[in-house]
C-alpha cells in the first residue's frame, strides 16, 4: 500500500521517532509503514488520519488501483 506518511511527517519537521511517539508505536513501525513493508491496522490508520487532519484515503492509496 502506498502512502504519503514520509512527506506529511517531513512537512511538520518530525522525525520518525516523533511520529512514533505521537502514535504510540515504535520508530521501527513508522519506518515499516513509510517503506510499504507494513500496512497499518484500521485503528492505527484512523489515528494517523486524525493526527494529520486528513482522511485515510488522502494518506493511503491501494497500489492495485
User: Is the residue at 37 inside a domain?
Assistant: yes
When divided into structural domains, the chain yields a total of 1
pLDDT number for residue 65: 61
User: Is the residue at 27 inside a domain?
Assistant: yes
Residue-range definition of the domain harbouring residue 29? 2-55
User: Is the residue at 65 inside a domain?
Assistant: no
User: In CATH, what number is assigned to the domain containing residue 43?
Assistant: 1.10.260.40
Per-residue pLDDT of the chain (65 residues), as tens digits, is 899 999 999 999 999 999 999 999 999 999 999 999 999 999 999 999 999 999 999 999 987 76
User: Is the residue at 61 inside a domain?
Assistant: no
User: Is the residue at 62 inside a domain?
Assistant: no
Read out DSSP for 19-49? Answer: HHHHHTS-HHHHHHHHTTS-PPPHHHHHHHH
Amino acid at each position: 500500500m502506498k502512502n504519503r506518511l514520509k512527506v506529511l511527517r517531513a512537512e511538520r519537521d518530525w522525525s520518525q521517532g516523533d511520529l512514533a511517539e505521537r502514535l504510540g508505536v515504535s520508530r521501527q513501525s513508522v519506518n515499516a509503514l513509510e517503506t510499504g513493508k507494513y500496512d497499518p491496522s484500521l485503528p492505527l490508520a484512523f489515528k494517523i488520519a486524525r493526527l494529520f487532519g486528513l482522511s485515510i484515503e488522502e494518506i493511503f492509496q491501494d497500489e492495485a488501483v
